[in-house]
């Protein structure tokens, strides 16, 4: 199955629209994962209109009326995807009370995404290879952190500080994930 992974569009605040090449990838995907910061209800509606299946969360720059959860999960091709935005580590905030769980550095971000993914997988009894997807930094990441594959597709519209528009696609089958980064 083909999964389109994107985040941090910031439409219309920092960009006019999702690039056409990315809209085509979203429309062609079997499932779409969006890690927040659509920027508007119109941007969310655009992605929803393109996606056959959508798993999405709100980000810190989304207006309050965006009707999305802070964390979402889905299983695709024998893989569990847990999606959050990545600006806060709610597990650390609830359990450790250190710095209120606010993500300040890359290591904090990796911890936040992995912690949220592991916690959601445990609570939802997701028994499959685990991928945590988040955005917020606008920087592309693909790394295994503490046993969790962590993905950040960057900014789909090159919203600052990103220097280029990026997204990911993942071919997912039999518990395996093959990720490709795309630029527009």
Query: What is residue 153's predicted lDDT score, i.e. its pLDDT?
Result: 98
Say whether pLDDT at 130 is over 60: yes
Say whether pLDDT at 98 is over 70: no
Query: What is residue 127's predicted lDDT score, i.e. its pLDDT?
Result: 85
Please give the model's pTM, rounded to 2 decimal places.
Answer: 0.94
Q: Could you tell me if 29 and 74 are in contact, meaning their C-beta atoms sit under 8 angstroms apart?
A: no
Say whether pLDDT at 93 is over 70: no
Say whether pLDDT at 101 is over 70: no
108 band by pLDDT with thresholds 50, 70 and 90? confident
Mean pLDDT, residues 173-178: 96
Query: What is residue 125's predicted lDDT score, i.e. its pLDDT?
Result: 83
- Can you tell me which residue has the tokens 């290879």? 129
pLDDT digits (tens, 9 = 90+) for 30-75: 999 999 999 999 999 999 999 999 999 999 999 999 999 999 999 9
pLDDT digits (tens, 9 = 90+) for 161-170: 999 999 999 9
Mean pLDDT, residues 105-119: 91
End-to-end CA distance of the chain: 23
pLDDT digits (tens, 9 = 90+) for 134-152: 999 999 999 999 999 999 9
CB burial of residue 145 (10 Å; 0-12, 13-18, 19+)? middle
Query: What is residue 66's predicted lDDT score, i.e. its pLDDT?
Result: 94
Domain covering 2-183 in this structure, CATH number:
3.60.21.10
Mean pLDDT, residues 90-103: 61
Rounded Cα gap, residues 72 and 56, in angstroms: 7
Query: What is residue 92's predicted lDDT score, i.e. its pLDDT?
Result: 63
- Supply the mean pLDDT for the chain: 93
Mean pLDDT, residues 106-120: 92
Say whether pLDDT at 183 is over 60: yes
What residue spans define the domains of the chain? 2-183
**Distances in Å between the alpha carbon of 7 and those of 47, 68, 121, 122?**
11, 14, 21, 25
Please state, for a pLDDT cut of 90, what percent of the chain lies above it.
83
């Amino acid at each position: 199955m083909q999964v389109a992974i994107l985040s941090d569009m910031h439409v219309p605040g920092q960009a006019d629209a999702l690039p056409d090449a990315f809209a085509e990838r979203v429309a062609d995907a079997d499932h779409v994962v969006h890690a927040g910061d659509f920027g508007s209800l119109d941007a969310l509606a655009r992605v929803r209109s393109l996606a056959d299946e959508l798993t999405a969360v709100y980000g810190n720059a989304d207006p309050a009326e965006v009707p999305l959860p802070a964390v979402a999960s889905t299983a695709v091709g024998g893989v569990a995807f847990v999606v959050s935005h990545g600006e806060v580590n709610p597990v650390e905030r609830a359990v450790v009370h250190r710095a209120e769980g606010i993500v300040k550095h890359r290591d904090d971000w990796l911890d936040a995404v992995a912690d949220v993914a592991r916690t959601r997988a445990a609570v939802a009894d997701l028994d499959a290879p685990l991928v945590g997807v988040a955005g917020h930094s606008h920087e592309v990441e693909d790394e295994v952190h503490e046993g969790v594959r962590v993905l950040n597709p960057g900014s789909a519209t090159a919203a600052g500080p990103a220097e280029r528009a990026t997204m990911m696609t993942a071919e997912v089958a039999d518990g395996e994930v093959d990720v490709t980064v795309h630029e527009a």
